[in-house]
Amino acid sequence: MNDAEFQKLLEISWQRPLRPDEEERLQTFLRWHPERQAAWDEEAGLSLLLQQAPVAPHVSSNFTARVLDRVEREERRREHPVRPSPWRWWLPRLAGIAVTAALVLMGARMLFPPGREVASDSWVEEVRIVSAIADIPNAETLRDFEAIQLLPPTELMDKVDMELLAALQ
């Protein structure tokens, strides 16, 4: 077996496992040409890995065309670089300014809340009314409102003449 035949067996091994007679011829050749052993081992390992690899997903029919088109465009871009839009320069800076302004406003709002004056004023009238209503003797008794409300009137109680009742019994 010569080197050409070795090459042919190598190509066959890419497509399918060698048959026993082919395998025997190969081993004979390698015994006489041990310098080609490394080449065969490399090819055989690669073939084995490819056989074990999962089936690749289907790609679109124009996959190659799209790849080539993209490569072309990339080459053109490198040859004629596009001048960046002014917005590309301004936009990040404007965003930075806006964030800074928002932070400043938030800080100012915390230090000098704009609604505080109004809120404070709205409490004033309510506190005035409630305090005036609560300005009664024994105001703390208001929490017993129901119990007090159901007390019989004092002037009625005064009319229960226990002295007369005692004299009659």
Partner 1 sequence: MTRTFPRSLRASILTGLLGLFAAASILTGAEPSVSMPPVPSPLVAPILHFRSLLAMTPEQQQGVLALKPEEQRTVLAAKLEEYAAMPEKERELRLRLLEIRLYLLNLMRMPPAEREAVLATIPEQDRTFVQSRLQDWSRLNGEEQQQVLQNRKSLHLFLYRGFVRGELDVVQISKITPPPPAAYRAQMIAKWQALPEERRQEIVRRFGTFLAMEAAQRQEVLQKLPVPDQARAQQTMRRIAALNPEQRSEFLNGLKKFADLDASARMRFLLGTERWSNMSAEERSLWRSIVVKVESPPLPPGGGGGE
| Residue ranges that bind partner 1, judged by CB under 8 A | 120-121, 123-124, 126-157, 159-161, 163-169
- CA separation for the pair 136, 130 (Å, rounded): 11
- CA separation for the pair 70, 116 (Å, rounded): 61
User: Minimum CB separation from partner 1 for residue 118, in Å?
Assistant: 12
- How big is the chain by its Cα radius of gyration, in Å? 51
CB nearer to partner 1: pick between 46 and 119: 119
- CA separation for the pair 138, 120 (Å, rounded): 29
- The gap from C-alpha 112 to its chain's centroid, in whole angstroms, comes to 35
Q: Do 42 and 10 contact (CB within 8 A), yes or no? A: no
Select from 50, 48, 26, 22 the least CA-distant residue to 37.
Answer: 26
User: Minimum CB separation from partner 1 for residue 104, in Å?
Assistant: 25
CB nearer to partner 1: pick between 11 and 121: 121
User: Minimum CB separation from partner 1 for residue 158, in Å?
Assistant: 9
CB nearer to partner 1: pick between 37 and 120: 120
User: Minimum CB separation from partner 1 for residue 108, in Å?
Assistant: 19
User: Minimum CB separation from partner 1 for residue 102, in Å?
Assistant: 27
- CA separation for the pair 31, 112 (Å, rounded): 94
CB nearer to partner 1: pick between 53 and 162: 162
CB nearer to partner 1: pick between 91 and 142: 142
Q: Do 4 and 28 contact (CB within 8 A), yes or no? A: no
